[in-house]
Amino acid sequence: MRTMTDTEKTAAAINQSVELSEEQLRQAIELLFFAYRDFTGEADAILDEYEFGRAHHRVVYFIGRNPEVTVTQLLAILKITKQSLARVLGQLIDEGFVEQRTDAADRRRRLLALTPKGMELDKQLTKRQSLRIAGAYLAAGPQAISGFRQILRGLINAEDRERVDGFFTDIGSDISPKGT
């Protein structure tokens, strides 16, 4: 009686653990719900100080991440309407967190960027969330990080996946021990 090869063992293991029970899928739903709730709740205290809401946070975040983004591009990223963005963006501009300049190449366009004040806010908001993520990353290790990324990427609509692919496509390797 022959023994299984390593490959066969792996295949069997995959088959067994890939049996996706309703229980397992519901667990994933709940993980997402609680993780997202706690993750977004992180910045709320800071936002309150500025009398801003989560919509302001998202706008600040994505302008910070994509300097010189246009209004239309921002709408595409956030998937909200122009009217919804207007309120939030207007406040951020009025209060000096975001600045607009006309694109010289196409004068219909307004290029959006954070002011130093806006960068400061972005940094403050992102720091908290980053700490939470860093904690989870460090506790779980590089393999887990790779899996986390792969699955979340798979949950994103195909059209938007490229947005999160960042500058490196070799998922997993970028977290490995430095210098070795």
Among residues 12, 33, 68, 102, the one that binds a copy of itself under rule CB under 8 A? 33
The least CB distance from residue 53 to a copy of itself, in Å, is: 15
Instruction: Tell me which residue has tokens 């195909």.
Output: 158
Per the CB < 8 A criterion, the answer to whether 174 and 168 are in contact is: yes
Q: Please state the φ and ψ torsions of residue 103, each to the nearest 5 degrees.
A: -70, 125
Q: Which residues contact DNA by CB under 7 A?
A: 51-56, 58, 70-73, 79-84, 86-90, 100, 106-110
Per CB under 8 A, does 25 bind a copy of itself? yes
Cα Rg, the chain, nearest whole Å: 21
Task: Pick one of DNA, a copy of itself, none as the site partner of residue 134 (Cβ within 5 to 8 A by kind).
Answer: a copy of itself
Distance CA 114, CA 99 (A): 6
Residue type, 73: Q
Task: Pick one of a copy of itself, DNA, none as the site partner of residue 87 (Cβ within 5 to 8 A by kind).
Answer: DNA
Per the CB < 8 A criterion, the answer to whether 99 and 132 are in contact is: no
Question: Which residues are at the interface with a copy of itself (CB under 8 A)?
Answer: 13-15, 17-39, 58, 61, 65, 79, 126, 129-130, 132-157, 160, 163-164, 166-167, 174-178, 180
